[in-house]
Homo-oligomer: A and B are copies of this chain.
């Protein structure tokens, strides 16, 4: 059997034993806490792993783009949440085509978005389930107040071709309690108006383990939990030994005693820092720091590392943020420990629209 160090670099390695353990741990936790999982596939973008998530108990999947959902429906997945304001005729046509093949739910935070959905679905024979996106402190997309959520829910309920599906939020980091209060208040208003939300969807990986604080939610959309990464380890979600995705790199230069250069730059690791120092953790040299990236080079400071790699040596890197890494590679390689199993295309990579 081929061993990982026989591969050409850079290459993304996915350890299937760790994937399985991460998925099971989250599903068991969710089951024990009465939470439904609807994993976000943006982390892996692989139909095969989406199906595995469903086999283990996920009630459906979450995609961010229509192009991702198209890949997943093509692969046989039939229950998809698209938490996005979908606008413009080309996308609305594709949304309708998808909704003829699978159960699709979407979000809206404006009447313009709702009107587009209604115009598209009114005479289609299909009723589109639309959730209201709520800004519970994240400062991104979503209505600002529970009263606004009610107003949009009423608008959806009154729109031809649509039904009010519930509430959705992407909670700000460290704001689980605040998000929960927001969603509870909105739920009270909605119930009083006869619009009990069927789904209250929140995310992501760190908050999953705090679901006891977030009892307003009925569904979670964790993504990164399948692979974990350096930022999730910082958040305490798991350990480095749980990280299932690594980038295998080669040391291409040792220009000075204190410097090594890897063949992994921003085209492999991305420039995402997520507030961390450096651009990833080198498993074999944990005291070394990837201090800067250009597109094709990663510069490593060895000052605090007693052990130092040779030119030509291979190392494995845990990225700061795995999701955009899988979006950079046309394919990833499944492994178990040091054994290479299979290289597979990243089916939903690069689906920007």
* Residues of chain A whose beta carbon lies under 8 Å from any beta carbon of chain B: 7-11, 42, 64-65, 84-85, 87-88, 90-91, 109-110, 112-113, 116, 135, 139-144, 250, 252-256, 259, 261, 263, 266-268, 270-273, 294-297, 299, 310-312, 323-324, 327-330, 350, 352-353
Closest residue on chain B to residue A133 by CB atoms: B253
State in angstroms the CA–CA spacing of A11 and B7 once bound together.
34
Interface of A is mostly: loop
- Known contacts A88-B8, A329-B352; A270/B268 CB under 8 A: no
* Separation of A256 and B324 alpha carbons in the complex (Å): 28
Least CB separation from A268: chain B residue: B352
Chain B nearest CB from A131 CB (Å) reads 14
Task: Tell whether A64 pairs with B295 under 8 Å between CB atoms, given A87-B311, A312-B87.
Answer: yes
Q: For residue A261, which residues in chain B have a CB less than 8 angstroms away from its CB?
A: 140-141
User: How far apart are the CA atoms of A88 and B313 in the complex, in Å?
Assistant: 9
Give the copy number.
2
Instruction: Report the minimum CB–CB distance from A262 to chain B (whole Å).
Output: 10
- Residues of B within 8 Å of A311, CB to CB, are 85, 87, 110, 112-113
In the complex the two chains form, what is the Cα distance from A309 to B36 in whole Å? 37
* 9 pairs of residues in contact across A and B, judged by CB atoms under 8 Å: A7-B90, A8-B88, A8-B90, A42-B295, A85-B252, A110-B253, A113-B252, A142-B255, A263-B353
Minimum Cβ distance to chain B for residue A272 (Å) = 5
Closest to A134 in B: B255
**B255 adjacent to A143 (CB under 8 Å):** yes
Known: A113-B252, A144-B255. 5 other contacts (CB 8 A): A87-B311, A266-B272, A268-B352, A271-B272, A328-B352
Determine if A299 and B266 form an interchain contact, defined as CB atoms under 8 angstroms apart: no
A266 to chain B, nearest CB (A): 6
Q: A109 CA to B261 CA in the complex, in Å?
A: 11
Interfacial chain B residues near A10, Cβ < 8 Å: 352-353
Q: How far is the CB of A43 from chain B (nearest CB, A)?
A: 10
Q: Are B140 and A11 in contact (CB under 8 A)?
A: no
Contact B252 A87 (CB under 8 A): yes
Contact of A296 among B84, B271, B294, B295 (CB under 8 A): B84
